[in-house]
């Protein structure tokens, strides 16, 4: 049996959710689809689907195989398109993940320009401060602020953003502003993403100061709102405080000690083939974010 036909059948069964629906999509019979999948499983020596009278679901091995095979077949389709089209125009869905605040400030404003340049591209943008698993969640490209520890991804640093320590005038009217990083032990420090050690630098070199407070959150918007409300002090990247640093009630502190920066990076799954539309979108954000941040 044709190997390419087996792979096409496999992908279609996964995406259609069953053999009958896949057969209709490929204008084949249900028994023909079943034979193709059985031949593929026999050749691989693994079970790709859990079959029951009500449903067909991927096994763990089947999920891993789908994640590897899907982009290969898409790349083959695009390669065919490049040869048969005199003017290639990238098209299709690209799934993007970005941190909530950074995405709202710096990614969303760029979306219209990207879609004007490439009107056949479809974007699925997820804004969340949770770190997404690119392969498990089907993310084609992610934007990260801070260190990236992901051996299964390609990481391209775009730019950096300096750290800044801020509080409100209301808060500092009740608590004397810190004059050195060590003074933070006497302050209500609002913790983002479990970062309980804040990085500073000074005449004696780099120093990491343990901090604590009555509020922690994995949402930067939550920490920022609490700072604006006078609850305590927060540590942010300047790229996340575009408007707030101009706010009359916001005060920066320890400026002479905040020389640390955080990388802004674009990452994508480590695959042999990267779809043309993903390359185009990735290159766009690398260029535009480096100019914007």
Instruction: With a cut of 70, list the residues of the chain below it in pLDDT.
Output: 1, 78-88, 272-273
pLDDT for res 56: 87
* Helix or strand run (H / E) with residue 76: helix 60-84
Phi, psi of 46 (to 5 degrees): -140, 160
- Residue 141 forms beta bridges with which residues? 96
Torsion of CA 190, 196, 202, 203, to 10 degrees: 140
pLDDT tens figures, 120-133 = 999 999 999 888 88
Question: CB–CB of 166/190 below 8 Å?
Answer: no
pLDDT for res 82: 55
pLDDT for res 235: 95
User: What distance lies between CA 104 and its chain's CA centroid?
Assistant: 13
Question: CB–CB of 33/23 below 8 Å?
Answer: yes
Question: CB–CB of 96/281 below 8 Å?
Answer: yes
Distance CA 150, CA 137 (A): 14
Q: Which pair of structure tokens corresponds to residue 204? A: 């004696």
The residue count of the chain comes to 293
pLDDT for res 87: 45
Domains of the chain in sequence order:
3-84 (1.10.10.10), 92-157+263-292 (3.40.190.10), 160-261 (3.40.190.290)
Distance CA 197, CA 188 (A): 14
pTM score: 0.69
pLDDT for res 78: 67
pLDDT for res 198: 94
Phi, psi of 261 (to 5 degrees): -125, 160
pLDDT tens figures, 31-79 = 888 899 999 999 999 999 998 877 889 999 999 999 888 888 877 776 6
Pairing of strands 250-253, 234-237: unpaired
């Amino acid at each position: 049996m044709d190997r390419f036909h087996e792979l096409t059948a496999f992908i279609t069964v996964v995406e259609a959710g069953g053999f009958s629906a896949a057969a209709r999509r490929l204008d084949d019979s249900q028994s023909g689809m079943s034979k193709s999948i059985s031949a593929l499983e026999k050749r691989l020596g693994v079970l790709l689907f859990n079959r029951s009278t009500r449903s067909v679901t991927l096994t763990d091995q089947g999920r891993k195989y789908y994640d590897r095979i899907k982009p290969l077949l898409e790349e083959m389709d695009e390669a065919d398109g490049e040869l048969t089209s005199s003017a290639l125009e990238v098209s299709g869905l690209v799934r993007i993940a970005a941190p909530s605040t950074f995405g709202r400030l710096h990614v969303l404003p760029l979306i219209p320009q990207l879609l004007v340049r490439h009107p056949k591209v479809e974007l699925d943008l997820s804004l969340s401060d949770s770190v997404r698993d690119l392969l498990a969640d089907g993310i084609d490209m992610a934007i990260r602020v801070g260190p990236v520890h992901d051996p299964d991804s390609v990481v391209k640093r775009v730019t950096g953003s300096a750290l800044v320590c801020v509080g409100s005038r209301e808060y500092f009217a009740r608590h004397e502003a810190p004059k050195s990083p060590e003074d933070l032990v006497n302050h209500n420090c609002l913790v983002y993403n479990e970062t309980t050690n804040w990085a500073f630098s000074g005449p004696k070199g780099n120093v990491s100061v343990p901090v604590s407070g009555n509020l922690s959150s994995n949402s930067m918007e939550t920490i920022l709102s609490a700072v604006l409300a006078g609850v305590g002090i927060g540590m942010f990247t300047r790229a996340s405080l575009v408007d707030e640093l101009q706010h009359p009630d916001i005060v920066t502190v320890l400026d002479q000690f905040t020389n640390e920066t955080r990388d802004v990076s674009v990452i994508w799954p480590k695959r042999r083939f990267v779809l043309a539309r993903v390359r185009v979108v990735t290159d766009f954000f690398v260029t535009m974010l480096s100019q914007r941040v």
